[in-house]
Amino acid sequence: MTRIIPAFDEMTADGQIRGPYAEIARWLAATPRESLERRRHEAELLFKRIGITFAVYGEGGDPERLIPFDIIPRIIARSEWDNLSRGLVQRVKALNLFLLDVYGKQEIVKAGRIPAALVNHNEAFRPEMKGFVPPGGVYTHIAGIDVVRTGPNDFWVLEDNCRTPSGVSYMLEGREAMLRLFPGLFANHHIASVGHYPEELLETLKSVAPPNCQGTPRVAILTPGSFNSAYYEHCFLADEMGVEVVEGPDLFVQDDVVYMKTTTGLQRVDVIYRRIDDDYLDPLVFRPESVLGVPGLMAAYKAGNVALANAPGAGIADDKAIYPYVPEMVRFYLGEEPTLSNVPTYLCERDEDRAYVLEHLDELVVKLTHGSGGYGMLVGPHSTAEQRAEFAARIRAKPAEYIAQPTLALSTVPTLVDKGIAPRHVDLRPFLLCGKEVRVVPGGLTRVALREGSLVVNSSQGGGTKDTWVLEDDPADIVKPLADTQGQSQC
């Protein structure tokens, strides 16, 4: 029988309210549920009005929907955040050094720290990038590191997103919505701002302008178009930064220089924040049938006339089969011990690991090596015998396509659901910007599993989002008994 470990509740400890949640507890105790429901409805109307939608591929009917937004913020104390952010910066530095190395001399492979086949035969590895150093030596300019919490001081990295991480617009718009809906609640907290993210993103992109850039770098966002699930975010960030959002046909390459077609004529583009996959970037190099990319873009890139963020080939750093080796990257490149821990991971292509996974499917989370969005996943403790048998057959047929991890007891936070206020499991995606320096936004996107008991927080699987508040101070750890919160003890 699977043993379920009780989840750490971020609001309470031993029946008492934890310090960071003191004001939230008082607010919840003093606010009638009808008022909370009304505010939730106002938040939904606000998001509809400004057009924050999420397209889900493969579903019938309207392909766009709102991502549910929970109005009870998640609170993180300053000291907790400082420890977490140090580990995030360390990790992203190591990932960028790994990318430079594997497309260069592959010293980590030669040292036997990571198997050569895992790198060179990985479908995310781009041989077209071998021997090329991107402007500023940066591969991953925008990173989203998914983190889960299991205790007061226990944070685990669940996965790294080094290709085209999304979700930052929901972080920013969620904060704006909370400011409008609950100005009094903000007045009772000293909360770190996230509103400067677009400005810092633009500074980061300009800081990695190519060697042949002339004058002030011109930045553009390359989108696959309005049918992409993150199209709202592309337009939102372009508007916030004051740059153009373009599609492939809006750009062309002449003499290895990228130009943008505008109503006032052609304009040279120096930095492209691309939100399309490697395969579709340049039909002359990758998929020839692609109409989303720009013919000749890679030639302009290698000629030093344009910078691409994130760099092609960065995806190997967030491949789930590479993930178990990130702590070794930290040791190898930085000479430091990892501040943040990985979740123990079994690679099903290994005979020993596969045998263990097949015997313990009821205890493990099984994921596709190249999967995302919560698809192709088995959560063992919540699965049926039929589902486990199906996954066992898949693993035996194609073991290299699967990894497995222990089922962590993700922390819970108070969430407004149909039955009132109840604990729900969450993760956190902080966003890091890597240019001449590494910057981390204080907070990030909290994703919440809205179904009771569910550990799957992905919006494509019915999850929602929360505003994440990083306090600028450290309240007393325990402030008052939970029983004093007028019936909110289920939090």
d(CA 45, CA 62): 18
pLDDT at position 479: 56
Do the beta carbons of residue 283 and residue 290 sit within 8 Å?
Answer: yes
Mean of pLDDT over the chain: 91
Q: For the segment 391-412, what is each residue's pLDDT rounded down to a tens digit?
A: 999 999 999 899 999 988 899 9
φ, ψ dihedrals at 97, nearest 5°: -65, -35
φ, ψ dihedrals at 272, nearest 5°: -115, 115
Q: For the segment 57-77, what is each residue's pLDDT rounded down to a tens digit?
A: 444 445 556 789 999 999 999
Residue 115 has pLDDT above 90, yes or no: yes
Q: For 344-407, give the CATH class.
A: alpha beta
d(CA 365, CA 357): 9
Distance of CA 95 to the CA centre of its chain: 15
Residue 47 has pLDDT above 50, yes or no: yes
Q: Which of 99-108, 268-277, 294-303, 405-414 is predicted least confidently? A: 405-414
- What is the amino acid identity at position 439? R
Burial of 227 (0-12, 13-18, 19+ CB in 10 A): exposed
Burial of 270 (0-12, 13-18, 19+ CB in 10 A): buried
Contacts of 77 (CB under 8 A, 6+ apart): 19, 20, 470, 471, 474, 475
Residue 334 zone, left/alpha/beta (φ > 0; ψ -120 to 50; rest): alpha
Residue 56 has pLDDT above 80, yes or no: no
The answer to pTM > 0.85 is: yes
The length of the chain, given as a count of residues: 491
Burial of 409 (0-12, 13-18, 19+ CB in 10 A): middle
pLDDT (mean) for 106-118: 96
Q: For the segment 210-263, what is each residue's pLDDT rounded down to a tens digit?
A: 999 989 999 999 999 988 888 999 999 999 999 999 999 999 999 999 999 988
| pLDDT above 90: percentage of residues in the chain | 79
pLDDT (mean) for 40-56: 80
Look at strands 464-470 and 69-76 and give their pairing.
parallel
Do the beta carbons of residue 302 and residue 236 sit within 8 Å?
Answer: no
Q: For the segment 131-189, what is each residue's pLDDT rounded down to a tens digit?
A: 999 999 999 999 999 999 999 989 999 999 999 999 999 999 999 999 999 999 999 99
Domain parsing of the chain, residue ranges = 1-127+143-193+318-341+426-491, 344-407
φ, ψ dihedrals at 240, nearest 5°: -65, -35
Peptide bond into 458 cis (omega under 30): no
Binned at pLDDT 50, 70 and 90, residue 483 comes out as very low
d(CA 398, CA 413): 37
Query: Can you spell out the DSSP letters for 358-397?
Result: HH-TTTEEEEETT--TTTT-EEGGG--HHHHHHHHHHHHH
pLDDT at position 487: 39
**Residue (of 178, 175, 145) closest to 163 by Cα position:** 145
